[in-house]
């Protein structure tokens, strides 16, 4: 009886893939093991890639010590007496004229509307 061992082949990962995995591991609050698992790579292999590039893998303590998000974030609104900044346009096209007031915060929408109107 002859027993044949299955041949094992090494996996090859491109440098771009390695860099992407390493960058994901360097984000605050993520675990190397979690990123490795999501990318179907062994966590020890990812840590080795990091060491080879002179990057210190984050410790478990650093991963768990992410600062908590604040429960309340104050938002400042302008006083009611202050007018909000706005875009003012007066357009004439042939016999038609249009006067427009548009909030500055929605300048992109104003530009889109203006392009459509001028066609």
In the three-class reduction of DSSP (H, G, I as helix; E, B as strand; rest coil), residue 103 is classed as strand
Rounded Cα distance between 114 and 71, Å, is 41
Rounded Cα distance between 58 and 56, Å, is 6
Under 8 Å between Cβ of 57 and 47: yes
Give the pLDDT score at 60. 62
In this prediction, residue 67 has a pLDDT band, given cuts at 50, 70 and 90, of low
Domain regions of the chain by residue span: 15-64, 86-118
Q: Tell me which residue of 22, 25, 23 sits closest to 62, measured CA to CA.
A: 25
Give the predicted TM-score (pTM) of the model: 0.46
Q: Minimum mean pLDDT among 14-23, 72-81, 93-102, 106-115: which range? A: 72-81
- pLDDT tens across 2-12, in order? 787 777 788 88
DSSP state of 28: T
Give the pLDDT score at 83. 67
- pLDDT tens across 17-66, in order? 999 999 998 887 788 898 999 999 999 999 999 999 998 877 766 555 55
Give the pLDDT score at 95. 84
Q: Tell me which residue of 33, 23, 29, 28 sits closest to 55, measured CA to CA.
A: 23
């Amino acid at each position: 009886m002859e027993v044949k061992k299955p041949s094992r082949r090494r996996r090859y990962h491109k440098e771009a893939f390695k860099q992407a995995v390493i960058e994901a591991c360097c984000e605050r609050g993520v675990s190397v093991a979690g990123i490795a698992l999501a990318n179907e790579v062994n966590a020890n292999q990812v840590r080795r890639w990091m060491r080879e590039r002179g990057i210190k893998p984050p410790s478990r303590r650093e991963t768990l010590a992410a600062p908590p998000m604040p429960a309340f974030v104050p938002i400042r609104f302008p006083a009611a007496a202050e007018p909000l900044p706005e875009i003012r346009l007066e357009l004439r096209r042939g016999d038609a004229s249009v006067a427009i007031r548009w909030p500055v915060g929605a300048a992109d929408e104003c530009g889109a509307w203006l392009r459509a109107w001028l066609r």
